[in-house]
Amino acid sequence: MNPDGSFESVRDGKTLTSTTLNNPAEPDSTIRKKAGETHQGFVGNFAETVDTDTNRKFIDSADFQPNIYSDSQFCKDEIQKMAEAGDTTSLCVDGAYAGIDNVNEAAQHGIKLIGTAMAGKETPDLVADFVIDDDEQTVICPNGKKADRAVYSERTESYHVSYFKNTTCKGCPFAACGNCPFKEHKRVRSGNISRKMIQRAEIQRTIRSDEFEENYRFRNGGEAIPSQLRRNQKIDNLPYRGFLRKKMGYFLAITAINVRRALRYAQEDAKKVLESIFQLVFTGILVNFDLNSQSD
C-alpha cells in the first residue's frame, strides 16, 4: 500500500505461476485452467472395481493431490498400482487419461486401457491405414503408394512426407473423395505423420466399434461418484483448510460411499437368504400337507 492509500502490485500478473501462493489459508492449493475454466485448490481421483456378474462395485483405489496434478499422471499411477498387484483386467477411463503413452504403458503390464474418447484434436481416420518403415525411412499410404519424399525429425519423432499429385496421387480414391489427411498444394500433397498418430487413429477407430459399447456403461457409471461426493458429502466445500485435512476428508467421503454400498449389498444378500428359507419352509409345509391328505 502506498502512503496515499492506493495499492501497487508487487509482481506482474503474467509472471504468476500455478503454484504461487494465492490464499494464505491454503498454502498448498494451486490454480489450473481446464476446459476453459479456472480451478483452484486440490483434485481427487479414484478407481472402481466392478463385478460384471453381479454388477457390484467398490472404490478400491483413490488419490488426492494439488490441482496441477494431471489426469494423465493419475492414470500412470493407477497403472503402476495395478501392475504391482498383478491385476491384468481392463481399465476404463475418460479421454483425458487415455493418452498414447498411457495405452502403451498399460499394454506392457498386460492391462487393457479403454478410453471412451481421446483428448485433443481428432486424428483423421485414414491415418490408421498408413504404414511406416523406420529401417527404410519410408511411408506408405493406404493406396499402397510410397511417399516421394520422407524426412524424419528426431525432435518431433515424425516424418514430413510429400506425394506428387499428378503422378503418385493420380487415380487415388481417397484423394478424389477428399479423405486424404495431407494438405493439398500446387504440385504435391504433404504433411506430418508419426507412429503415435497412427496408433491414435487406430484407437479412435476401435472406440467407435460395437465391441467397446459395453465398456461405456462402466465409464458412465463412474460419473455417479463425483455427483455423490458433491451432493452428499459436499466435497467442494469442506469446512476445514489445509492439504492433509482435506485429503483425510476426501478419503472419509470415499469410505462412506463404500460403507453404504456394503450395507446395501448385505441387505440384498439377507433378503435372498430369507426368501430361500421361506421357500424351503413353504415347500416343506406343502409336502407334509400332501402326505397327510394321502394318508387320510
Question: Which is higher by pLDDT, 233 or 192?
Answer: 192
Helix (H, G, I), strand (E, B) or coil at 30: strand
Residue 87: per-residue pLDDT: 81
> Which domain-ending residue is among 157, 172, 194?
194
Residue 125: per-residue pLDDT: 85
> Which domain-ending residue is among 142, 174, 194?
194
Check pLDDT > 70 for residue 255. yes
Regarding whether 131 and 106 lie in a shared domain, the answer is: no
Regarding whether 177 and 100 lie in a shared domain, the answer is: no
Check pLDDT > 90 for residue 220. no
Residue 296: pLDDT band with limits 50, 70, 90:
low
> Which domain-ending residue is among 194, 224, 248?
194
Indicate whether 185 belongs to any domain: yes
Indicate whether 244 belongs to any domain: yes
The three-state DSSP-derived secondary structure of 31-69 is EEEECCEEEEEEEEEEEEEEECCCCEEEEEEEEEEECCC
Regarding whether 100 and 22 lie in a shared domain, the answer is: yes
pLDDT tens digits for 164-200?
A: 988 999 889 988 888 899 999 989 999 999 988 888 8
Regarding whether 91 and 151 lie in a shared domain, the answer is: no
Regarding whether 108 and 164 lie in a shared domain, the answer is: no
Phi, psi dihedral angles at 283 (to 5 degrees): -65, -40
Count Cα atoms within 13 angstroms, Cβ side, for 217.
8
**How much is the pTM?**
0.66
- What is the helix (H) or strand (E) element at residue 56, kind and residue range? strand 56-66
pLDDT tens digits for 123-174?
A: 888 888 899 998 888 999 999 999 999 999 988 889 999 999 889 998 899 8
Regarding whether 219 and 185 lie in a shared domain, the answer is: no
In the chain, what percentage of residues exceed pLDDT 90? 22
- Residue 164, strand partner residues: 188
Regarding whether 107 and 20 lie in a shared domain, the answer is: yes
Residue 214: per-residue pLDDT: 66
Question: Which is higher by pLDDT, 266 or 4?
Answer: 266
135-147 as b/e, with b when 16 or more CB fall inside 10 Å? eeeebbbbbebeb
Regarding whether 180 and 157 lie in a shared domain, the answer is: yes
Tell me which residue range forms the domain holding 40: 13-121+204-258
> What is the number of structural domains in the chain?
2
What does the alpha-carbon distance between residue 26 and residue 20 come to, in Å, rounded to a whole number? 11
Question: Which is higher by pLDDT, 120 or 75?
Answer: 75
Regarding whether 35 and 18 lie in a shared domain, the answer is: yes
Residue 290: per-residue pLDDT: 60
Instruction: Please give the C-alpha separations between residue 32 and each of 69, 70, 149, 162, in angstroms, as whole numbers.
Output: 9, 10, 42, 40
Indicate whether 295 belongs to any domain: no
What does the alpha-carbon distance between residue 191 and residue 149 come to, in Å, rounded to a whole number? 11
Count Cα atoms within 13 angstroms, Cβ side, for 260.
11
In the chain, what percentage of residues exceed pLDDT 70? 80
Regarding whether 218 and 170 lie in a shared domain, the answer is: no
Cell numbers given for 10: 508487487
Regarding whether 129 and 117 lie in a shared domain, the answer is: no
